[in-house]
Each structure stands twice: as structure tokens, then as C-alpha cells.
Structure 1
Amino acid sequence: MSYAVDFEDVSTIGLESSPVADALAGLRANEARYFKNKYDHVFTVEPAAEATEVVDRVHRILAEERDLVIESKPLEATAFEVDGIRMAYVFYESGLSINVMYTIADGGKRAVGFKLSDGMDVPEELATRFKFARQKSKLAGTIRGSFFVIKGEY
């Protein structure tokens, strides 16, 4: 069952099993607010078990580009297209959020972004490979993020 993320009344629906559910809900709401304000897009997620194609695509890109395997259980995922950009998000039980931005036009931006919920430690599989910058968010507290550029075609 899909869920339109409300960034005004932040809810932990679908994220309850996370030890940082409140912070992860804030991170998810932060993304929803961004897409609503920038693209007038309603950010809708569904349980990862119902979005296996999205989760598998994100995991394939991680494996092929950086030989990465995320240890945490995926809880929710979404995929959509806005303004010529394909977006995919996976939210993990640990508090990690991974997004894949893939511009459809040749030569466009293509990257994988990592965001860590407030209170979450950097996952071991990412700690030695990426440096994380901090940003403040009214909805999510302190978000730490990193990214890498996608070189392959997906």
C-alpha cells in the first residue's frame, strides 16, 4: 500500500521498526518537502517488499558501480520521474536513505546519494569509502550526506 508522505504532520508510518524511526521520518519528510516545493511532486512511498524492482535497481547500481552491499533491511522505496530526471529512493531500517538521480538526457547528472538520519552511525560498508557532510533541517535535525557519480548506463 503506497503512502503520500506528509511533510507538515510528520509520521513514522512504515518506519516503525527502525531504532531511529522519528529521525528517519523527518528525513523522508524533508525529501517530500523538497520535491513538492521544487517540482510540485507528491512524494509517495511503498513498502520495500512491494517495490522490489526499485530496491533491486538501487542495489544493482551500488554493486556494479562501487561493489557495495547495504546490510540494513530496506523498509520503503519509491521511484518517479520529474523534469527529465528519474529518481529512486530506498529508506532503510538503520536510518539510511539512498537515492539515485539519473538524468534521462545523455550527458546529464547521474549520481547516488546517501543520507543518514540524526543519531545514526555511519554504516560500516560506507564508513571507509565516503566522507559525510552535515546540513541542518527543520524536519530531520542534522542530516549527514555523501554521494558518488554514476559512470555506467542503467
Structure 2
Amino acid sequence: MPYAVDFAAVSTTGLESSPVADALAGLRANEARYFKNKYDHVFTTEPADDAKATVDWVSRILEEERGIVVSSPPLEATEFQVENIRWAYVFYRSGLSINVLYTLDDDGKRAVGFKLSDGMEVPAELDGFKFARQKSKLAGTIRGSFFVIKNEH
């Protein structure tokens, strides 16, 4: 069942099995606030089993672009388009959030972003990435990194 993420009252709905559920919920709420403020878009997630096509698309991009296979099971995912950008998010039990920004114009930006919830270790599959720190009232300290997508997906 789809869940409209509320960034005013942060909830762990759908993320309860994560050892860092509160921090991951804050991270998800932080994304919801961004999309509401920038695009007036309501950020809605659904269980990963119901969003298999989205999870598979993100996984395929990770593997084809960088040989990355995420070891943690996905809990929730979402995919939507705002303006001319296709967005996909997958939230994993470990506390990892992965997003794909895929501009539909041929010359537009295309990237994969990683965000680590407060309290989680850097997963082995992301060991070579450097992470910048960002403070968030909703999520505590968010560590983030990204890479540019080079191929068509």
C-alpha cells in the first residue's frame, strides 16, 4: 500500500525492520520535504515487493555502471517524474538510500546518489566512495556521495 511520507510527523512506517529505522525515517522525510518545497510533489513510497520494476531498474544501473550489488534487502521504493526528470528512490534495511536522477533530455544530468543514515557503517560495496556530511533536523547527520551515469538506461 502506498505511503505518503509526512515530514512534519516523521514515521518509521515500512522501515521498522531496519536497525536504524528512526534515522532512515528521518532521511526519507528529508527527501519528502525537498520534493514538496522544490516541486510541490508529494513523496510517496511503497513496499519494495510492490515496486519491483523500480528496484530492478536502480539495481541494473548500479551493476552496469559500477559493478555494485547492494547486499541489504530493499524495504521501500518510489519512482516518479517531476518536470523533465525521472526520479527513483530505494530505501534499504541497512539504512542506505539510493536515488537515481535521470533527466529525459539527451544532454541532461543523470546520476546515482547514495545517502547513509545516521548510525550505519559504510556498506562494503560502497567502500571506494568519499562521503560528504550534511546536517539535517529530520535525519541528523547524512553522509552522501554520487556518481554520474554514463550510459542509457
Alignment TM-score, normalising by the size of structure 1: 0.99
Q: Which runs of 5+ in 1 are unaligned?
A: none
1:140 alignment counterpart: 139
In the alignment, is residue 131 of structure 1 matched against residue 130 of structure 2?
Answer: yes
The number of residues matched between the two structures is 153
Alignment of 1:1-154 (within 5 A): 1-127=1-127, 129-154=128-153
The DSSP-based 3-state class of the residue aligned with 2:11 is: coil
Letter aligned with residue 42 of structure 2: V
The CA deviation at 1:106 is 1.2
The CA deviation at 1:113 is 0.1
The DSSP-based 3-state class of the residue aligned with 1:6 is: coil
CA distance in 2, matches of 1:120, 1:109: 29
Runs (4+) of structure 1 exceeding 6 A deviation are none
The CA deviation at 1:140 is 0.3
The CA deviation at 1:24 is 0.1
The DSSP-based 3-state class of the residue aligned with 2:81 is: strand
CA distance in 1, matches of 2:15, 2:123: 18
Q: Which runs of 5+ in 2 are unaligned?
A: none
The DSSP-based 3-state class of the residue aligned with 1:46 is: strand
CA distance in 1, matches of 2:7, 2:83: 21
The CA deviation at 1:149 is 0.1
CA distance in 2, matches of 1:81, 1:26: 23
Could you list the per-position Cα deviations for residues 40-98 of structure 1 after superposition, in whole angstroms to 9, with x for gaps in the alignment? 00000000000000000000000000000000000000000001000000000000000
The DSSP-based 3-state class of the residue aligned with 1:31 is: helix
Letter aligned with residue 21 of structure 1: A
Letter aligned with residue 3 of structure 1: Y
The DSSP-based 3-state class of the residue aligned with 1:125 is: helix
Percentage of pairs with the same residue: 78
CA distance in 2, matches of 1:91, 1:4: 15
Letter aligned with residue 58 of structure 1: V
Letter aligned with residue 113 of structure 1: G
